[in-house]
Structure 1
Amino acid sequence: MGFDRNQYLRELETIVNIDSGSRNPAGTGKVAAFLEEKYRQQGFQTELVSVGPEVGPVLVATNAPDEPIDLLFIGHTDTVFLDGEASRRPFTIKGERLYGPGVYDMKGCSLLTAYLMENLPAELKRSLNICVIHNPDEEISSFYSREVIIEKAKMAKFAFVMEPSAADGSMIKERKGIEKLKIHFKGRPSHAGDAPEEGRSAINELAYWIVQLNTLIDHDAGVSVNAGTIQGGTVPNVVPEHAQMELDYRYSNPIDVTAFLDMLEDLQIHAAEKEIGIDIAVIGRRPPMVDVPGAKALRSVFEDVGKQMDTVISFKKSGGVSDANFTTSVGVPTVCSIGLIGGAFHTDHEYVELDSIFSRLELLTAVIAEMSRRKMFCTSADRLRVT
């Protein structure tokens, strides 16, 4: 394997030192353009797909125009950090760890994907149809790019979501689904002392909703409800006309979202009876990442290759979400969080373990080779049927 670690580190420094928060189209665009050039140099066909002015482009790179796709790789170019963070704490190497905004989640992993494509054996790369997606808005629920992801996932045999691995090296096999809502309540103001009966309290209705929604909580079943922010009212002696909350509902079983949506309908009826206006905006939505047919066989390849390399491969469930939620929703066997090892993501001390760069590159190359040996990819007959 002709991996040049020093070149990788120089290029990682370049993209980590670019501010690329989800709402920074120029920054995510720069990172996408940098990665695009990496794929072009390898002979990939590339496209920067616009998904609206609010965010940067989606980079799509393919080594062949044919369908179906054998392997779909997904990563993202955005971070959670505000502009100025890259200059405040630029990329640094301290001992055996790398630091900087987004170095772990997930610029190091996105760059690793390009290096994985570069280091795949030529005969293996020629035999596979590969598609790579780098989207600009994963940290804000892939609200703009999800249709591009789903469209490509529908053509794919397998998906590798290159999110970072946990500090112990574990990967993800299941993730919760999420409904994230911003709910505005509009009541009727009045004097709280002289005419309280004339008022319609937006805050009282909000409080009623929280109490009712919390009855859905079932931690054993993987259901959680969290009113993460609330605002409302003006002064204590006025019945509040306005209130607002941001709600986070997470669930493991796809059927559990039905109970949540049914309750929302009932609560809106209650609000109407109390003469409270309701406006609900969806600010985040992902179905759960579930075990689909073929997923266990895919994980077994990782486990078997890990044993051959004397590396423990473990998979766990997560309450967090990623773009793997979309790929399994259309039935694609998926492994998630197979990228670099590190920790403390979304903080000012996130890090990557330096030695995980080559070890992950070596593992993923071996996994793809083993999948090919086991004839898990599309055959010539499959491609003829599609064309």
Structure 2
Amino acid sequence: MDLPLMIDRLRSYVEDETRTGDATALNAFADRLVHRYTELGATARRVPSPTGDHVVADFPGQGALSDAAPVLFLAHHDTVWPIGQLAGAMPWRLQDGVIHGPGVFDMKGGLVILETALAHLVGNGADHRPVQVIVVADEEVGSPSARELVTTESAGVVAAFGLEPPHPNGDLKTSRWGSTRIRITVTGREAHAALDPESGISAIDELVDQLIAVRSVVARHEHVLCNVGTLEGGGRTNVVAGSAWADIGFRFMDPETESAVLEAVTALPALRAGAVVEVKVMSNRPAWQPSAATEDLLAKVVAAGESIGQEVGGAAASGAADTNLTGWLGIPTLDGLGPVGKGAHAVHEQAVAASLAERAALVAAIITTI
């Protein structure tokens, strides 16, 4: 594996900034991926989506396994970072063997790892199953436009692997908590805050009380994470706010808890006469729970790692990703084949440079042995 070439490729990907929802930037990057995958022998295409197109690529198998069921790799090309982050708080730099920059860890490093492994296989002619690749454009907001695509395209695959970051020690991820985003929207009634406050209904006050009620629901259940990520409402201090909304992210260890919490939250009544409260599910990825099938797959990956002198481990994870969908469907699934590093969604995001080549070698070994 040519590490300097991988680092150069990663830099070019990071410098092509792709914030979730920026369709123009995401589609331009998708074109790059389609071109690259086609160069490597795949049939690749963009799958249209209003907020940014997804990419699907099908690589033929080789030798005795050319007609076997395919192995699936899941990735995404969106990041949480706004355009301009690279020129501001997070410039690209390689220092003491560590790469810094927006998206190096989550997850453009994973994209480089995958294409390097595929190029290696094309070059050495090793027998392997067909390989299917899905690169999603809105993973960072729960893949609302890609869920059906992942579900449909994963039918019939023998196993699924994610290119998300691994655990801090490099272990792969063998299960994930479920993730659901909801939006609570409150409609009140505007009025002059000093001259006629009694005729108004404060949407902000109602929303604050709704969020307290949500916390009360969450407190009744174990193994639930809840984060209010966005708040917006009102306009002026002399006007009773007529509208407000909040986006909330939940994490659930199991589907039973998810159902109970969401049922309770969506049933919360308005606390002020005349206020209207609406709750909408924005995205959902169900819990991917531990299974014997995944343990068997991990054993095969451990063996693949041993064949190239790498020690591979696995453990459960609390964060969600598109592998939730394949794991939930019962497909043997592992995630965390991205580079070792830290700082996902933080300004100190970084990846260990040497791990790019190590992970590419592991991915190539997986493809030729699964």
Task: Give TM-score scaled by structure 1 length.
Answer: 0.83
- Give the corresponding residue for 2:264: 263
Asked whether 1:332 is paired with 2:334, we answer no
Q: Is the 8 A contact 1:193 1:237 kept in 2?
A: yes
- Give the corresponding residue for 2:340: 341
* Distance change >3 Å, CA 129–CA 201, structure 1 → 2: same
* Distance change >3 Å, CA 24–CA 236, structure 1 → 2: closer
| Residue 214 of structure 1, CA deviation | 1.8
SS of 2:106 mapped into structure 1: helix
Provide the C-alpha distance between the structure 2 equivalents of 1:220 and 1:262, rounded to a whole number of angstroms. Answer: 13
Deviates more, 1:43-52 or 1:209-218: 209-218
Query: Which residue identity lines up with residue 242 of structure 1 in the other structure?
Result: S
- Give the corresponding residue for 2:351: 352
Provide the C-alpha distance between the structure 2 equivalents of 1:362 and 1:40, rounded to a whole number of angstroms. Answer: 21
Provide the C-alpha distance between the structure 1 equivalents of 2:212 and 2:144, rounded to a whole number of angstroms. Answer: 29
| Residue 146 of structure 1, CA deviation | 2.2
Provide the C-alpha distance between the structure 2 equivalents of 1:264 and 1:44, rounded to a whole number of angstroms. Answer: 45
Provide the C-alpha distance between the structure 2 equivalents of 1:234 and 1:42, rounded to a whole number of angstroms. Answer: 53
Query: Which residue identity lines up with residue 300 of structure 1 in the other structure?
Result: A
- Give the corresponding residue for 1:316: 315
Asked whether 1:154 is paired with 2:162, we answer no
| Residue 174 of structure 1, CA deviation | 1.8
Q: Is the 8 A contact 1:103 1:351 kept in 2?
A: yes
Write out aligned runs for 1:237-386 (5 A): 240-267=241-268, 270-271=269-270, 274-306=273-305, 311-371=310-370
* Distance change >3 Å, CA 230–CA 77, structure 1 → 2: closer
Provide the C-alpha distance between the structure 2 equivalents of 1:309 and 1:73, rounded to a whole number of angstroms. Answer: 20
- Give the corresponding residue for 2:54: 58
SS of 1:85 mapped into structure 2: coil
Provide the C-alpha distance between the structure 2 equivalents of 1:347 and 1:257, rounded to a whole number of angstroms. Answer: 27
| Residue 272 of structure 1, CA deviation | 8.5
| Residue 169 of structure 1, CA deviation | 0.9
Q: Is the 8 A contact 1:292 1:332 kept in 2?
A: no
1:11 to 9, 21, 43: 9
Q: Is the 8 A contact 2:126 2:368 kept in 1?
A: no
Provide the C-alpha distance between the structure 1 equivalents of 2:360 and 2:45, rounded to a whole number of angstroms. Answer: 25
Provide the C-alpha distance between the structure 1 equivalents of 2:98 and 2:45, rounded to a whole number of angstroms. Answer: 33
* Distance change >3 Å, CA 20–CA 272, structure 1 → 2: same
| Residue 231 of structure 1, CA deviation | 4.2
Query: Which residue identity lines up with residue 355 of structure 2 in the other structure?
Result: S
- Give the corresponding residue for 2:83: 83
| Residue 149 of structure 1, CA deviation | 1.3
- Give the corresponding residue for 1:46: 44
| Residue 260 of structure 1, CA deviation | 2.2
1:30 to 9, 28, 45: 28
- Give the corresponding residue for 1:169: 170
1:126-149 per-residue CA deviation (whole Å, 9 max, x = no partner) reads xx1210111222112212222211
Which consecutive residues of structure 2, in runs of 5 or more, have no partner in the other structure?
none
Deviates more, 1:38-47 or 1:221-230: 221-230
Provide the C-alpha distance between the structure 2 equivalents of 1:196 and 1:34, rounded to a whole number of angstroms. Answer: 56
Query: Which residue identity lines up with residue 58 of structure 1 in the other structure?
Result: H
- Give the corresponding residue for 1:124: 127
Q: Is the 8 A contact 2:224 2:253 kept in 1?
A: yes
Query: Which residue identity lines up with residue 351 of structure 2 in the other structure?
Result: V
Provide the C-alpha distance between the structure 1 equivalents of 2:151 and 2:257, rounded to a whole number of angstroms. Answer: 22
Query: Which residue identity lines up with residue 250 of structure 2 in the other structure?
Result: Y
| Residue 308 of structure 1, CA deviation | 5.6
SS of 2:45 mapped into structure 1: strand
- Give the corresponding residue for 1:378: none
| Residue 209 of structure 1, CA deviation | 2.4
SS of 2:346 mapped into structure 1: coil
Q: How many residue pairs are counted as aligned between the two chains? A: 363
Q: Is the 8 A contact 1:188 1:199 kept in 2?
A: yes
The CA RMSD measured in Å over matched residues stands at 2.9
* Distance change >3 Å, CA 140–CA 232, structure 1 → 2: closer
| Residue 182 of structure 1, CA deviation | 1.9
* Distance change >3 Å, CA 186–CA 93, structure 1 → 2: same
Percent same amino acid among aligned pairs?
Answer: 26
| Residue 259 of structure 1, CA deviation | 1.3
